[in-house]
Amino acid sequence: MNTESNLKDLGISGKLIEGLNELGINSPTEIQVKSIPFLLEKGTDFIGQAQTGTGKTAAFGVPILQNIDLSKKQVQALILAPTRELVQQIAKQLFRFTKYTDKIFTEGVYGGEKIDLQIERLKRPTHIVVATPGRLLDLLKENAVDLSRIKTLVLDEADEMLSMGFEDQLKRILDHTSGSRSTWLFSATMPGGIKAIIDQHLDQNAFSVRIDAKNQVNSNISHVYSICQAADKNDRITAFLDDHGGERGLIFCRTKAGATTLASVLAKLKYSADVLHGDMNQKERDKVMRAFKKERLDLLVATDVAARGIDIKELSFVIHQQLPEQMEYYTHRSGRTARAGKKGTSYALIHPRDMERLKAIQAQLNIKFKQLHEKKVSPWDRIK
């Protein structure tokens, strides 16, 4: 069976398949196989538990796009996401999926941009709105968007929206849009807050899909680690970077202070690096992301939340200055490399006491870590 027929078997239209193929999406992922046929045919309440990087945008995006009624110039679907970057990424992907279809209009709305500009854009025919919860509520107060006739509401990365403090906003939006619409909820984990939303706002017979975490990590990623003390981590990072000269990557830190300090150290050592964290204003974040996307920067040092929604295809590696606190964040972090069929490396720097945690990640995600034995290089050698 050829790759196109795999997508056809899900019920996807030929024009959408053309757009997907052009993006390198030739065979469906597990979440797509288990969700798209149901969402295309029935489209009723749905719960999908899957990590970031498993193809969720196409899993909900393709059914939404295929079921848009182009004769009706009204908002027919609302997609909520936790960050501006993820909203932009989803809107961009939906646009790319429809390269060969009749025109479907999608509008992304989020904080950090003048609301007047978004109000003006929403006056144009709009079929799909992708939004952060806070900005959507601002627009509803201004009566700038009509959600009374939406058929589908998607909550993407629902657990992340709750962890970022959007629980009250989500409940208000769910109440505001209640009626004949269906709700599709996607979440990596199912904490109590998510279960409460499901109990209160979704049908008790909602179709549910759970993707085993062991099948979620990209097989094109090589997972390596070094054991070192905290004081040695900068030297290990720079040694790795020297071995991968000319390549581009992401470095993840747990804290904003740690990310800022590391980016400063790398800049002083003449690496092409900058930082991205939650305390930066939107203008600063946009400036850094533009530089990174346009390859004026080789390295981006980021915190987990700040890196949500980053989709840069040509990243050769990801470095973990520390292992993430949450298991699913390892999948999210490592999934930033090896995009679009390319190979990549995920490099973790761990303290000796973190070996058990590394083993747990290895077992739960069904991956194999290899210890990296790098040569030691004095930082003074780089400064000379």
Residue 285 Cα to chain centre, angstroms: 16
Instruction: Say what the pLDDT of residue 330 is.
Output: 86
Count of residues in the chain = 384
Q: CA-to-CA distance for 185 and 66, rounded, in angstroms?
A: 19
Q: What does each of the 384 residues of the chain score in pLDDT, given as a tens digit?
A: 343 448 999 999 999 999 999 988 888 988 999 999 999 999 999 999 987 767 899 999 999 999 999 999 999 999 999 988 889 989 999 999 999 999 999 999 999 899 999 999 999 999 999 999 999 999 999 999 999 999 999 999 999 899 888 999 999 999 999 888 999 999 988 889 999 999 999 999 999 999 876 666 778 899 999 999 999 999 999 999 999 988 999 999 999 999 999 999 999 999 999 999 988 887 898 899 889 989 999 999 999 877 766 777 789 999 999 998 877 778 878 888 887 668 899 999 999 999 999 999 999 888 999 998 755 555 544 443
Location of structure tokens 């109440």: 175
Q: Are 207 and 286 in contact (CB under 8 A)?
A: no
Tokens for 125, please give them: 């025919």
Element (H, E) at 30: helix 30-41
Q: Which residues contact 163 (CB under 8 A, 6 or more apart)?
A: none
Element (H, E) at 159: helix 158-163
Instruction: Say what the pLDDT of residue 241 is.
Output: 96
Cβ-based burial of 65 (10 A; exposed 0-12, middle 13-18, buried ≥19): buried
3-state secondary structure of 122: coil
3-state secondary structure of 355: helix
Cβ-based burial of 375 (10 A; exposed 0-12, middle 13-18, buried ≥19): exposed
Q: With b meaning 16 or more CB within 10 Å and e meaning fewer, what string describes 163-185?
A: bbebbebbbebbeebeeebbbbb
